[in-house]
Structure 1
Amino acid sequence: MYDTIQFIHSYWAYLVLFMLLIASFNGIIGFAANKEYSATNFRIALFTLIVSHIQLLIGIVLYLTPQNLARFDGGMGEAMSSPALRLYLIEHPLMMILAIVLITIGYSKHKKKLTSRPKFKMLAIFYGLAFVVVLTRIPWSAWLN
């Protein structure tokens, strides 16, 4: 079960990264080019929100598996003293939750704006920040192998 959830979590992350990249560039280009906000832009923002929240749910399930929780057997001191354990048990989960919060705030704020330029600005800022946060805390050494 653990391997299956980890596999899904790892490969769903590609979709999340792709959608965050598309949504961020969509917001930047829409803002810079002063484009009209359309249904397609709304769908991109919404789909990015949905896939990122699904990834969060998969990540929570993965985090709460017995195999993962066994990593805490040495206590918090051991987890914090080991860079690999700290990344997997503390940094990655917290930063991904922060990224999801940024995506959710950006999506909510953009819906309240009445004109196109502020909508694109909210999406560019919050989705772009979320993209950077995600990129900083991906366990690249394990992910690219």
Structure 2
Amino acid sequence: MYTGLQHLHSGLAYLVLLALVCIIIYALIGTLSNREFTDKDRKIALIGFILSHIQLTVGLILYFVSPLGFELLKSGSAMSDPAARLTAVEHPIINIIAIVLISIGYIKAKKGTVSKVRFRTIYMMYAVGLLLLLTRIPWTAWLG
């Protein structure tokens, strides 16, 4: 089960990152072209919202069943080792913050009334979320 969750979390990460990049570009184009924000645009933003939340859910499950997550934090050795600290503390906390920002962006855009502001809210909040996600990916473990 643990290995399957690891593979799901890693594979889904590629999909989330790709979706966020595409949605950011799409929303930026929507802003620059002064298009009307439609239900289709909301659904496109919803894709990133849903994928990021699925990734968060899988990540949280993995955090509590993995020897590299909560167990490492409980042992007390996580804070002295930068790689362990990234895995046990920084990665989960920063990624939760990133997904909260993506959620705020989606919710504000959904409730907004001015098309340009709705598009701008999506691309700005999703971009900040994406940047946070990219800073806390354990690249050596992920690509290595």
**C-alpha separation between the residues in 1 aligned to 2:36 and 2:122?**
14
Aligned residues: 143
Unmatched segments (≥5 aa) in structure 2: none
Residue 12 of structure 1 and its aligned partner are, at CA, apart by: 0.5
Residue 140 of structure 1 and its aligned partner are, at CA, apart by: 0.9
> Larger relative CO (CA 8 A, sep 6+): 1 or 2?
1
| Range with greater deviation from structure 2 (22-31 or 6-15) | 22-31
TM alignment of 1:1-145, pairs within 5 A: 1-65=1-65, 67-68=67-68, 69-72=70-73, 74-75=75-76, 78-145=77-144
TM-score where L is the length of structure 1 = 0.92
Unmatched segments (≥5 aa) in structure 1: none
| Range with greater deviation from structure 2 (94-103 or 37-46) | 37-46
Query: Cα RMSD between the aligned structures?
Result: 1.3
Letter aligned with residue 32 of structure 2: A
Q: Deviations over 1:51-100 (max 9, x none)?
A: 1101100001000005233323531xx21110100100000000110011
Mapped contact 1:106–1:127 kept (Cα < 8 A): yes
The structure whose residues are more often helix, as a share, is 1
Mapped contact 2:73–2:89 kept (Cα < 8 A): no
Q: Taking every aligned residue pair, what percent have the same amino acid on both sides?
A: 43
